[in-house]
Structure 1
Amino acid sequence: MENLSEHKSGTSIEKYFSSDGLYKVISIGSYGLNNEYIDQGIRAVKNKTTESKLVRSGQLTMVLNDKTANGNLIGRCLLISTDNEFIVNQRTEIIIPGPDLNGNYAYYYLNGPFRSKVKRIAQGGTQIYVNYSSVKKQKINYPIKDEQIKISKLLKIIKKLITLYDRKLKLLSQVKKYFLDNLFVEKEYPNLRFKGFTDAWEQRKLGEIFKFSQGLQVPIDQQLEKKEENTERFIRIVDVTQDNIPQRFVYNPTGKGRVNLDDIFFVRYGAVGTIGHGFKGVIANNLFKVIPLIDINPLFWFYQFSDIRFNSRLKALSASTSMPAINFNTLRKMIISNTSIVEQNKIGTILKSLDNLLTLYENEQQHLTEIKKTLLNTMFI
């Protein structure tokens, strides 16, 4: 690396910090996990010392310290695209690409698998660090300049797409939160109504709308790790609270505790209030299903039950013991908002559409991230 670039070390410039300073200061906290600059609001005045630490357009900065032992930050680089805006503080190195190294290519390369090399030469314990004198001796692979430019352009496009999906996800999440915050407000007239709906919402006891049915108790030695004929999936608390848990299967000739995809169920003991929906199988006896006594839209109730305010009320009802538990008699008396089935259908459909979009964007973002990771691991070997 030392044959392809020059470098300049940062030094302590804290005494030149000023709220009305001209320059933005790059320090350890300026490096985001997405390899983007984080503005901490730290500024420094202009003088000979700070001018000597200016970073020019097309140059990079590398962080040489990490506040933790896991190395999430160490070796990360920022690519500077403006002149006379940024200066570096101590433990940050300015990297100046030479004529054979494109700055954009270097940015993606150094933030790619190259960081593993930096971690391997890091020193320290609870807070690790690396000396740039060791970093610059590491070898990097590079094609001709034109190919470097093409590679960096491709990676830049993918990065922009990932950022775009991230913004869409944040915006949609805000929209969904706004709907939930203004629909399920525990009063007769919600803050948000859709066109054509003006009637007051009923305030009813939960036991007038649902009855509760506890799941099936199955000894662990009767829970199968592989599905056999006439067995059903056995749904436990861990299946609701954790991802990628190996499934269990049980025989259930009585049908007790059986749930279908539209059914809603809750954790009764321990992780009180955790909600399950979209499962098919048999729930365990520390879970319970809510069975409607009137015509309802399951999605409407799933979203109302998922709201943090309902969850807080549910937890408050649980016994204050070492093992919190929901008392069915108390739960039946809980007051809950109910509206017409037509309005329930409308609300459920809209919120489900938002969730479908969120899932779509999450999958697209994850797919692009995997493509980027594959490209980095195959091109920068």
Structure 2
Amino acid sequence: MKSKQNPEVRFPGFAGDWVQRKLRDVVERVTRKNKNTESSLPLTISAQHGLIDQITFFNKQVASRDLSNYFLLENGEFAYNKSYSNDYPWGAVKRLDKYEQGVLSTLYIVFKPTKVNSNFLVSYYDTNRWHKEVSDRAAEGARNHGLLNISASDFFDTELKVPVEKNEQEQIGEFFKQLDKKVALHQRELTTLKQTKQGFLQKMFPKEGESVPEVRFSGFTGDWEQRKLNTVFKDFIVPMRDKPKEFSGTIPWTRIEDIEGRYINGTTSGQYVSKETIKSMNLKIIPKGSLIVSASATFGVVAIVNNDLITNQTFIGLVPNNNFNVDYLFAFFKSTNIQKKMKRESAGSTIFYISRKQFEEMTGEFPILEEQEKIGNFFKELDVIIALHEHELDALKEMKKAFLQKMFV
């Protein structure tokens, strides 16, 4: 079958066929060593950050102390890491953008573009178009110590299709460069929002041993009241260990994967339990308006229950008394102080586990209902903004993925 000559989507004004080139014809291999220790910055490849220094990424240097025999990489040069993973089944190729220089293990293959637009090449290696070229040349079944068995000569023998016109290469490269900037901006904004939320979760709830928080809405001055959770919740529902034997009904059977942001609405597995099964197995329904909090396994997971449901023993269901706001209680369990307290309660277990009795006896500080409502609504609105940013970021990533598929051959 004849391979495609041109991409599915092109910028207007370009009509000429793309041409096939060997990589060695459009780039030049770089083998310079760091002999005089021009750089003391060892690099690694990250999915999100590209070529990044090891200390930033790993919190430590994994390279040897003597870096003189490492490759010296200059800004704008590329590196192919033959290490493979789930994210990178055929390794990864990234350009050095963050630093003027850096050093890499000689296991990497380093090169610089000579007859192809650099930004075009960055985007090309964000696609999967080059994977088959590498897989055809890597020795079958010869993955050794996490590395693909492909020589530098074979890597430079791989072929790629490029536009004949330099202007088309430049436009494609610039398009994805601007798209990457937009993705990075949204990622930074999302990170800042999440950090801001964590700051408020620390400052808008009293620290241990104190009766008022550091940050408070105006108009509220009284001390918060310390309470045991058995005075805050009227029921503590511990799910049965047994999984329903039959799924045919209307009550959702839910798992941790069914949590969407701050809520658990139903089941994505399509599994529902009948009232007859619930009765015969003595299963526990967690009612709408409750909270579920992880009592074992994954630590610190909390969700508001939007519909009556059945869940597994990962969670305990907490049914609030009428004079407690569920949005406040959600934030309460997310607060820094309570997360630490829950961790302490589970100490001594080989895995995270808190019993019903420990939940009932746990203490926390609670303001009057009006202040609870203010705090609960504040965090609810903040979560809406965060979810919106996450949605926008996901949409941008999907858009980039679609364009990468359609704008390269």
> Could you say which TM-score interval applies, normalised by the shorter chain?
0.7 to 0.9
Three-state SS of the structure 2 residue aligned to 1:37 is strand
Partner of 1:97: 114
Quote the Cα distance in structure 2 between the aligned partners of 1:367 and 1:336. Answer: 40
Q: Deviations over 1:285-306 (max 9, x none)?
A: 7344322234121111111112
The residue aligned with 1:200 is 223
Change (3 A) 1:117 1:309: farther
Aligned to 1:46: none
Shift of 1:138: 1.6
1:38 counterpart letter in structure 2: I
> Which of 92, 97, 106 is 2:121 aligned to?
106
Mapped contact 2:80–2:110 kept (Cα < 8 A): yes
Are the structure 2 counterparts of residues 236 and 66 from structure 1 closer, same or farther at C-alpha, using a change threshold of 3 Å? closer
- 1:152 is displaced (CA, Å) by 1.5
TM-score calculated relative to the size of structure 1: 0.78
Q: Matches of 1:327 and 1:54 in 2, distance apart?
A: 55
Tell me the distance in 2 between the aligned counterparts of 1:142 and 1:35.
26
- Corresponding residue for residue 77 of structure 2: 60
Residue 134 (structure 1) aligned to one of 154, 159, 163? 154
Contact 1:60 1:107 in 2 (8 A): no
CA RMSD in angstroms comes to: 3.7
Aligned residue for 1:108, secondary structure, equals helix
Alignment of 1:1-381 (within 5 A): 1-2=22-23, 4-13=25-34, 15-17=35-37, 21=38, 23=39, 29-34=43-48, 36-40=50-54, 55=74, 59-66=76-83, 71=88, 74-78=91-95, 85-86=100-101, 89=104, 90=106, 91-98=108-115, 101-117=116-132, 119-120=134-135, 121-122=137-138, 124-129=143-148, 130-143=150-163, 144-184=165-205, 185-186=207-208, 187-214=210-237, 220-224=244-248, 228=249, 231-236=250-255, 239=258, 246-252=269-275, 257-260=285-288, 262-268=289-295, 274-284=301-311, 286=313, 287-307=315-335, 309-314=337-342, 316-317=344-345, 326-381=354-409
Residue 201 of structure 2 contacts residue 334 of structure 2 at CA under 8 Å; is this kept in 1? no
Percent pairwise identity: 23
TM-score (norm 2): 0.73
Q: What is the total number of aligned residue pairs between the two structures?
A: 355
Change (3 A) 1:141 1:375: same
The 1-side partners of 2:367 and 2:132 are apart by 60
| Structure 2 CA distance for aligned equivalents of residues 53 and 152 of structure 1 | 25
Whether contact under 8 Å (2:79, 2:93) holds in the other structure is: yes
Equivalent pair of 1:182/1:192 in contact (CA under 8 Å): yes
Give the Cα separation in 2 of the matches to 1:109 and 1:155: 10
Asked whether the equivalents of residues 229 and 363 of structure 2 are also in contact (C-alpha less than 8 Å), the reply is yes
Give unpaired runs (5+ residues) of structure 1: 43-48
Task: Give the CA deviation at 1:180.
Answer: 0.6
- Cα deviations across residues 247-289 of structure 1 (Å, max 9, x unaligned)? 32122378962422x3212345666764332442322473443
Cα distance in 2 for partners of 1:16, 1:40 equals: 20
One-letter amino acid of the structure 1 residue matched with residue 253 of structure 2: F
| Cα distance in structure 1, aligned partners of 2:213 and 2:327 | 18
Evaluate the alpha carbon distance shift between residue 283 and residue 312 of structure 1 in structure 2; reply closer, same or farther with a 3 A threshold: farther
What amino acid is the match of 2:271?
R
What runs of 5+ residues in structure 2 fail to find an aligned partner?
1-21, 56-60, 62-67
Shift of 1:202: 0.8
Q: Show the counterpart of 2:3.
A: none
Quote the Cα distance in structure 1 between the aligned partners of 2:381 and 2:284: 32
Q: Write the distance in 2 (CA, Å) between the matches of 1:35 and 1:362.
A: 18
**Contact 2:45–2:81 (8 Å) recurs in 1:** no
